[in-house]
Amino acid sequence: MSPATPPALDTKTSLLDAAERLFAEHGVTASSLRAITRAAGANLAAVHYHFGSKEALVQAVFARRLAPLNRQRLAALSRCEADGCRDLDAIVRAFVAPPLRMIRDTPGGRDFARLVARAFLEPAAETRQLVLAQFEEVIGRFTAALGRALPGLDRDELHWRFHFMAGSMAFTAGLSHLVERRLGSGPTDVEQLIRRLSGFLAGGMTAPPAPERAR
Amino acid sequence: MSPATPPALDTKTSLLDAAERLFAEHGVTASSLRAITRAAGANLAAVHYHFGSKEALVQAVFARRLAPLNRQRLAALSRCEADGCRDLDAIVRAFVAPPLRMIRDTPGGRDFARLVARAFLEPAAETRQLVLAQFEEVIGRFTAALGRALPGLDRDELHWRFHFMAGSMAFTAGLSHLVERRLGSGPTDVEQLIRRLSGFLAGGMTAPPAPERAR
DNA sequence: CCAGAAGTCAAACATTCGTTTGATTGAACC
DNA sequence: GGTTCAATCAAACGAATGTTTGACTTCTGG
């Protein structure tokens, strides 16, 4: 049996790769350090030598990809704002495109997407807070941009719609393989999926605001 | 310390209640049978006596609420179809309203909503298959109804949009407390949340379909 | 060439897990 | 009153977990 993560440059990144994959496949708590180190071709003690604990390894797995991902989102939003930012679709696209492109371009990106989607719902307060903290700036900048583009929405409606958008995004990134299997088609054209999703979300964003009371 | 689940009618439902809460709070694998039985005020061996194994307990927790929930959805859809079903919003509402009302009306419903949302993303193939199987009929009936109401969408676009809708639903039901805390308002008016969400989703559903190639 | 740091390794640590066992209770039934 | 059966209980089982240790390599700089 060859090691599951072939191009192991150094032990530390091999551990990160193996942990990312196993966390996504079997969950964090269900992935033992023995299984991770075995998959990484490393010794059991290597995790504690390089990271200090399993919890520190978990946080390292998230931090490695989450920071660049949200930097891409903010950069895309800044670019959109510099261009005047008339098009609502461009704002939505700045939010949803980076993670979906990561699935296509980054090895292990699909595993990571599932991992992040689950992290929001997952219970371990520590990692959930870590993930949420990484998103704090993104939430603020994007809700502000959406508020400017959609002046007809009050604050509550705006936050809820951002939440709806984030939900669609997380599920799409984390469960894209499920729809693919159902459709039976080949590998998804990510760029078209981005168009589909951003079109859907832009339609939801521009919907008339919900009435205060039932009609 | 009083038992965490006060109105324990019989041991079996006490175990289900305690398991549901702890599963949602700390995750399935992180919730030990010792913690569950302690919270239920029962003996450690009670789980194996009443259910046979921990895995069987997990499945019982899901089956208890999922079946009636999806029955409500299908009944609401049938009612809508009997009325001619012109309004797209009514179809969407039949999908999203039952779980959100469950959060309000059923004790422990919010915990269960988080649990189900996570179940989709979670790795344990057994429970994920169980949950997906419960949704099979719902997926089929609702995509068919949406297809009739939106004849302009091809099959792929339709399935993706259903997926987007399910994602918003799952996140909203599973993480509503997060938005509530951010907004700082009191307990959510569930009926208004249903109007917000169904309005948003109806807007997304009626958006023009994504072009095959970039413009 | 060699001192020393950095990394790897097998082995063991205590703890916790799901599961099983066998005795004990309590109420229903003839 | 005695029997029966479902339910509960304390105690223990083996297996698996995260973590630690101390010796063994491997590389690096002087």
How far B178 CA sits from the closest chain A CA (Å)? 9
The CB density around residue B52, as the number of other CB atoms within 10 Å, is 11
**Which bases of chain D are contacted by protein, using any atom under 7 A from a CB?**
7-12, 16-22
pLDDT tens digits for range B42-64 = 999 999 999 999 999 999 999 99
**8 Å CB contact between B39 and B22:** yes
The pLDDT assigned to B124 comes to 67
**Which bases of chain C are contacted by protein, using any atom under 7 A from a CB?**
7-12, 16-22
How confident is the model over B74-88, as a mean pLDDT? 89
- Within residues 54-83 of protein chain A, the ones with CB less than 7 A from nucleic strand D are 54-55
**Residue (of B89, B131, B153) closest to A215 by Cα position:** B89
Signed CA dihedral, B96, B101, B106, B110: sign only: positive
Average the pLDDT over each of A7-16, A85-94, B64-73, B197-206 and give the range with the smallest value. Answer: A7-16
pTM score of the predicted model: 0.88
Q: How far apart are CA B156 and CA A184, in angstroms?
A: 10
Burial class (CB in 10 A: 0-12, 13-18, 19+), B91: buried
The pLDDT assigned to A178 comes to 77
What DSSP character marks residue B75? H
Quick one: chain B helix, strand, coil %, rounded to 5?
Answer: 75, 0, 25
Categorize the per-residue pLDDT at B191 as very low, low, confident or very high, splitting at 50, 70 and 90. Answer: very high
Cβ-based neighbours of A128, under 8 Å, separated by 6 or more: A119, A120, A122
Alpha helices (H) in A27-154, listed in sequence order: 33-40, 46-50, 54-82, 88-105, 109-121, 125-149
Q: How far apart are CA B167 and CA A169, in angstroms?
A: 8
Alpha helices (H) in B106-124, listed in sequence order: 109-121
Q: How far apart are CA B117 and CA B111, in angstroms?
A: 10
Q: Rg of chain B over CA atoms, in angstroms?
A: 19
Q: Is the CB of B48 under 7 A from strand C?
A: yes
The pLDDT assigned to B26 comes to 86
**Residue (of A42, A52, A49, A53) closest to A17 by Cα position:** A42
